[in-house]
A and B are shown apart, each in its own frame.
Chain A
Amino acid sequence: MRKSALFVPGNQASMHVGAFAFDVDAIIFDLEDAVALHHKDSARTLLRHSLSTLTMFKIPKYVRVNPIDSPFFKEDIAQMIQAPIDGLMIPKADAYNLLQIIKWCEQVETQHSKKQTPLWIIVETALGVETLWDMVNTTDRITHVLLGGEDLMSDLHVKQTYNRQELAYPRAKVAMVSKAKKLLCYDTPYVEINNEKGLLEDAIQAKNVGFDSKIAIHPSQVDVINAVFSYTEEEINQAKEIIEAYNQAQQQGLGAFSFKGKMVDKPVLNRAMHIINSIEGNKHD
């Protein structure tokens, strides 16, 4: 069970603390789209100070830097790698620019004696989608993959359709590659922040094709996303019963066992254990 990750504008100090009040798996401080061009430098400075102050919060912190083809990229990386963060989010990643990105990260890490910084890549170009498998095999830095639907639609010259047809292939590809490499994958943000029904349907679609969760661009989206990617009470109870049946079978020395008239095989047991482990791991401190 995964919760949402929440985007927070890098230049809005008042939101930096408040973001940690929400029930999310990660906070992503944004230096890219949320920050106007003439505020890029000040946002970077502000964010670095915020991050060095907010160390009491345990929720993992990521920073979305500006793209490699922007004039802000190098300084973003140079400053943020020195800050206490859990990783960098890289926009418009593809197998070709990723090599340059890693090279620059290594240079900064060496200069400041920093460990390897994990990367959360955004797949939001046609090239990114098509070279995703190469990307995740290029480096072990990548821990998360985010599908960026808005930029991808722009790259494809298509508009958003009612049932997100335009994302069917990219979603399947991102989910499949991520699962193959045991990486966490997050679905594209839903931009209509007041449309709860639309968000719900969009999140369900993403869940159905294998996404672990979905990014929230406003705190009001967090609970809806968390609810979609949580297990239902029925699923949890059934998982508990399956594990209980398994334990009893073990005590009796039985290799195979049945539950409610059906034989339980290993994938079913694994799923039950995954559900219970996820819940235990998500209890409040």
Chain B
Amino acid sequence: MTNQAYAHRITPLTTTRHAIKERNDTNFVKGIQTMFEHITLFDGMSVSFHHHLRNGDYWLNEILLELEKRNIKNITLVASSLFDVHQKIIPLIKNQTITKIYAAYVSKKVGEVISEGYLKDGLVMHTHGYRALMLTHHLVSVDVAFIVASASDKQGNASGSLGKTPCGVLGYAIADAQSAQQVVILSDSIVPVDKPEIHSDWVDVVCEVDSIGDASGIVSGTTQITKDPIGLKIAQLAVDFCEAANIIKENMSFQSGAGGISLAVMDKLHHHLKNKNIKALFASGGTTKLLVDMLEDNTVSQLYDVQCFDLDAIQSLAINKNHKKMSAMEYADITYKDNIANKLDVVFLGATEIDLDFNVNVTTGSDGIIMGGSGGHADVANGAKMTIIVSKLMQSRLSVVVDKVTTISTPSEDIDCFVCEFGLALHPRHQALADHLKKTTNLPIKDIRELYDLAISLTGIPNKIAFADQKIGVSLYRDGSILDELYAIASV
């Protein structure tokens, strides 16, 4: 097999895992130069990273820049998500050190260069759930998983909850650890680890480093509740709809996205549950102080946590037995029978665009440039009984409701309701519910076209985005099927 072909294989490797070391013989090293002496990496191989350090992550950049120094080319980057902090890899995309990327989310700074057509072998955008499936079923093989952990022992029992710079549960990294040919733990706190997310049995090398990242970026203010009165109005309307549609009840389960309005829904829901003395069974996904408060005042019985967004969530995970860690497989992998996503009653998610057929785009911006991705959007939208999109009707002078989304990130079949400041629209399959609510409540039930017409009357119809013929990637559903294709933007 040539190195070139090696980068694109999608079948399991025939080589034996741990071939480069004896089992139970984890290497403990200091510094990445020594670490590289203990792993095998050459042209065309694939490397994986998790995103639990978000914009505080040092090591995705550092490792890939080191590969460039070592003149290793045609790398497939299997990253759970790429943030703005990772823009240092842009030259590596341009000089073909990195030629293919798998990710559930790509922020705009990195997305821009991909949308300009520089990523030679393209971008595969998947969901968190499908990433876990893809890795653990070896549909994509990872040669080296680099797992940054806030704490690890010398054997490789690693956690995100302990150490100098805790980042919370390493839910997305477990699939990498279980499936990669070689697993490297990078940590700045070599300490005994009780209840690790990553078990030493999966680990080949533990590398002690000076720092895992910038603490302020790891738990940055990306998860603030909106204070915008319009956002708060949308949140209240979403909760009012749930109340009227009999979704809010004892033992309900729910999840929200991490956007400001989705978090405001959580806040309103919390107050509603408390006032009505209703106790929810569980909440899931990424956790914040909002969910921790609900757990602590008994408005929810359990939290299932795949990643922590703030220090309160990290601390709660350490001390509250009802705050449970979960892996990406347990969260959203469709081959995992009891995946949490499929048990959800209701989810509140954002959207960059929603079209008249209720398809949702969270991947590309109004300029056609990649600036996001599904993350768990399509996983929980598919799994939950009721999926509610909460968004302002217009963002930056453009309508969020469009005739056809630029990219399908989550398909119409999985979307039930769109709530904006001017009303809420139900998918046509819920016509009976819409009719019932119109008769029995004062909720501003609208047809989605009414909302579209209102927005267009204010914004006008925007020009179509000009795309080039060059295909730059695909958007995958949670079962791995192709939802949409991504194209380079036309040069102006």
Interface residues in B262-300 (C-beta closer than 8 Å to A): none
Tell me which residues across on chain B come within 8 A of A21, comparing CB atoms.
230, 233, 421-422
Is B457's CB under 8 angstroms from A219's CB? no
CB distance from A224 to the nearest CB of B (A): 13
Bound-state Cα–Cα, A80 to B421, Å: 27
Known A56-B454, A56-B457: A283·B442 in contact at CB below 8 Å: yes
Tell me which residues across on chain B come within 8 A of A285, comparing CB atoms.
444
User: CB within 8 A of B230: which of A53, A56, A218, A219?
Assistant: A219
Known A17-B394, A18-B421, A21-B422: A284·B233 in contact at CB below 8 Å: no
Is B233's CB under 8 angstroms from A22's CB? yes
Is A284's CB under 8 angstroms from B444's CB? yes
Q: Is A278 located at the chain interface by the 8 A CB criterion?
A: no
Tell me which residues across on chain A come within 8 A of B483, comparing CB atoms.
none
Tell me which residues across on chain A come within 8 A of B177, comparing CB atoms.
none
Interface residues in A228-285 (C-beta closer than 8 Å to B): 283-285
Q: Is B221 located at the chain interface by the 8 A CB criterion?
A: no
CB distance from A249 to the nearest CB of B (A): 29
Is B458's CB under 8 angstroms from A17's CB? yes
Q: Nearest chain-B residue to A279 (Cβ)?
A: B442
Bound-state Cα–Cα, A283 to B443, Å: 9
Q: Is B82 located at the chain interface by the 8 A CB criterion?
A: no
Bound-state Cα–Cα, A226 to B421, Å: 17
Q: Is A220 located at the chain interface by the 8 A CB criterion?
A: yes
User: CB within 8 A of A220: which of B229, B442, B443, B457?
Assistant: B229
Bound-state Cα–Cα, A22 to B230, Å: 8
Bound-state Cα–Cα, A197 to B422, Å: 27
Interface residues in B429-484 (C-beta closer than 8 Å to A): 442-444, 454, 457-458
CB distance from B272 to the nearest CB of A (A): 14
Is B230's CB under 8 angstroms from A18's CB? yes
B residues contacting the other copy or chain, number (CB 8 A): 14
Tell me which residues across on chain B come within 8 A of A22, comparing CB atoms.
229, 233
A residues contacting the other copy or chain, number (CB 8 A): 15
CB distance from A20 to the nearest CB of B (A): 8
Q: Is B232 located at the chain interface by the 8 A CB criterion?
A: yes
Q: Nearest chain-A residue to B444 (Cβ)?
A: A284
Tell me which residues across on chain A come within 8 A of B457, comparing CB atoms.
56
Bound-state Cα–Cα, A285 to B438, Å: 10
Tell me which residues across on chain B come within 8 A of A56, comparing CB atoms.
454, 457-458
Tell me which residues across on chain B come within 8 A of A54, comparing CB atoms.
458
Tell me which residues across on chain A come within 8 A of B442, comparing CB atoms.
283-284
Bound-state Cα–Cα, A136 to B105, Å: 63
Interface residues in A56-84 (C-beta closer than 8 Å to B): 56
Tell me which residues across on chain B come within 8 A of A18, comparing CB atoms.
229-230, 421
Interface residues in A168-224 (C-beta closer than 8 Å to B): 218-220, 223
Bound-state Cα–Cα, A53 to B422, Å: 17
Bound-state Cα–Cα, A56 to B442, Å: 21
Contact with B along A19-49 (1 / 0, CB 8 A): 0111000000000000000000000000000
Is A218's CB under 8 angstroms from B394's CB? no
Tell me which residues across on chain A come within 8 A of B232, comparing CB atoms.
220
CB distance from B7 to the nearest CB of A (A): 47
Contact with A along B203-246 (1 / 0, CB 8 A): 00000000000000000000000000110110010000000000
Is A218's CB under 8 angstroms from B444's CB? no
4 closest A-B pairs by beta carbon, nearest first, are A21-B421, A219-B229, A18-B230, A284-B444
Interface residues of B (CB under 8 A from A): 229-230, 232-233, 236, 394, 421-422, 442-444, 454, 457-458
Please list 8 pairs of residues, one from A and one from B, whose beta carbons are closer than 8 Å in the complex, sorted by A's number: A18-B230, A20-B422, A21-B233, A56-B454, A218-B229, A219-B233, A284-B444, A285-B444
6 A-B pairs besides A17-B394, A17-B458, A219-B233 with CB distance below 8 A are A18-B421, A21-B233, A21-B422, A22-B229, A53-B458, A285-B444
